[in-house]
Chain A
């Protein structure tokens, strides 16, 4: 009970500093906000294949909303978050987004969970001129070119989820500087966008660090027995194995590779960064290294408070998706605070909020957070390793240039 109380106290303090820190740059008179509601909508995959990520994002967001509202809101205005499930299905995701947008009062959207859905939802939000903040999509062509292959930047699309284009190269650089690997094999799932994107990034990066890619072994997500692709990879005798895939597949590949006698290290992307994967990999995953947006054991206040509060509310550990969901609400709250909202002209408020989002600069569980000029993430990258017993250790932090 004591720890719970302390956790809440710390979290409150964090939420206050997070908002307070930002308000120093604010220009708003708080009166116009008093008693108003800032309405936000989230499109998350709570069921279906994305159900692994969506519920975490939702918990993080709910926690942040609760904290902010309990500590005086945004200049006195409450945040109301309307979360809708898209069942991990692209058409439903777009339908839900449209319903949320057209209901008329929402100032911003969050999500959707999966890149596969983002390709439909983001252009929709862009065409309706409502800001949308992606909280878990890490693939390419999310920001700023949401209308890829058209290249004109999307003005209303942001993300707070660290892209694989930043995380994977950072990880490979850190690893190469330490261990100087000569050869590698890439194992990549070929039937989803996330994994394919990650594989492309690995292929484009290894050359810079003089790692020779001996083979690229593609497999289907629905592979039952990973012995076959792993045998193919291990027989090349590489120094490292790169894995870009989702769910527990990285863990299963690691287990299989160890059984087949592979002694080198595993390098990967966001697919490595959940406690579930680390737990599933167990001792086989020890040393598997990846670039992450978040590290649970970071002790700076904005993270420690978040972790404490999360444990107190849900009696389980948060993961990266919860941290990114939590951060997203802090970001929108900070922008709303400074946006001088009217609460009567919704289209105008949406644009004001968008403008204020561009200059966000706050402390979040992810670290100090800003957007780049292309609305992508500008934050420290935490290069982490699986510790062999379900957790992670920090190898190095890479500050953004």
Chain B
């Protein structure tokens, strides 16, 4: 509770004490945007952690060995993630549903265990220190990027491209017969998602000092997925709200310290069962009514009619 009290009574102190938490929330919001884009186009892909790794490692390795300026390193990291996203997308995007999800999990783990642990330039299991890390300065580009990217993606979902994505999500067959080039639109979403994830990964190394393979496992991707599910995917705000809520949660429930994951689990189950559209979704604050509730209501109404 102290957490909230301080937020309102002493916002400056709050900011100073929680700058890294806020930065992490920003990173997670970017990742939420990344998964939102593929979700919006009807694809359940879980490759985000892999693309983060590409962005992060590229940036750090460039900072270590090249005299290039940091913004360029970050840009290259994001674009390389996009390029690899394109290559991975070629074979993978033919798959649907759970199969697509599993294939992308395979990509993440094969990249982490098969590539990162085997290429000496990545520092293998020991990881790499980011020489240009600046935990408190690193927050600035994050805080700038989140609103800009949110706005861009919001706009994007209202363009022809966004409408095509929505059409594919609702009914792929119908979209296809309406002349929408489904594979191309899916690929565009996948690559945009990869670039945003790579960008988030690159920025994250800036506040976290370090990259190592444990950061980029399936666990991370699943965490990103929960942002989208808990927040809701009707529009881009949903996953961001999910990211903010779930990243701050460990701080909020610190008094349950030991059983934090139990609280986490319960929240996931409650949301998915009682509010499947996510925190931000249609229907205001309504929750899905349990069955006994509707039954009771019908009986009431029946009684009133008599």
Contacts and interface: CB of A to CB of B under 8 A. Distances in A.
A227 B183 CA distance: 46
A47 B257 contact: yes
Contact of B131 (A150, A191, A196): A150
Contacts of B20: 91, 94-95, 98
- Give chain A's interface residue range (CB within 8 Å of chain B): 20 to 34
A147 B212 CA distance: 16
Nearest to B129: A148
A120 B125 CA distance: 17
Interface stretch (B11-19, B144-152, B153-161, B294-302): B11-19
A349 interface: no
Contacts of A98: 17-21, 135
A256 interface: no
Given A103-B17, A119-B129, A91 B250 contact: no
B55 interface: no
A99 B15 CA distance: 10
Interface residues of B, number: 35
A191 B210 contact: no
Given A94-B208, A193-B127, A220-B113, A99 B24 contact: no
A276 to B, nearest CB: 20
A191 B213 contact: yes
A141 B126 CA distance: 11
B201 to A, nearest CB: 13
A92 interface: yes
Contact of B210 (A47, A90, A95): A90
Interface in B177-234: 207-210, 212-215
A95 B24 contact: yes
Contacts of A95: 18, 20-21, 24, 251
B258 interface: yes
B124 A90 contact: no
Interface in B108-147: 113, 117, 124-127, 129, 131, 133, 135-136
A99 B214 contact: no
B17 A191 contact: no
A160 interface: no
B53 to A, nearest CB: 14
Interface in B67-125: 113, 117, 124-125
B125 A192 contact: yes
A46 B258 contact: yes
B32 to A, nearest CB: 16
B261 interface: yes
A47 B258 contact: yes
For the residues of B in contact with A, the DSSP-based class is helix
B250 A87 contact: yes
A119 B261 CA distance: 25
Nearest to B22: A95
Contacts of B136: 127
A334 interface: no
Interface string A188-202: 011111011100000
B30 to A, nearest CB: 14
A181 to B, nearest CB: 27
A80 interface: no
Contacts of A220: 113
Contact of B209 (A120, A193, A196, A197): A120
A46 B257 contact: yes
Interface string A114-136: 00100110011001000000000
B126 A120 contact: no
Interface string B262-278: 00000000000000000
B214 A192 contact: yes
Given A91-B208, A92-B250, A191-B117, A196 B125 contact: yes
B169 interface: no
Nearest to A89: B250
A147 B117 CA distance: 23
B111 to A, nearest CB: 14
Interface in B5-62: 13, 16-21, 24
Given A85-B257, A91-B20, A191 B214 contact: yes
Contacts of B207: 94
Given A91-B208, A116-B212, A47 B126 contact: no
15 contacts: A46-B258, A47-B261, A87-B250, A87-B260, A90-B208, A91-B208, A92-B250, A95-B18, A116-B214, A119-B127, A119-B209, A120-B209, A123-B209, A148-B129, A191-B117
Given A103-B17, A120-B208, 18 more contacts: A46-B257, A47-B257, A90-B215, A94-B20, A98-B19, A99-B17, A102-B19, A116-B127, A119-B129, A123-B135, A123-B209, A124-B135, A141-B129, A149-B131, A190-B117, A191-B125, A193-B212, A196-B126
- The 3 A-B residue pairs with the shortest CB-CB distance in the complex, in nearest-first order: A102-B17, A95-B20, A120-B209
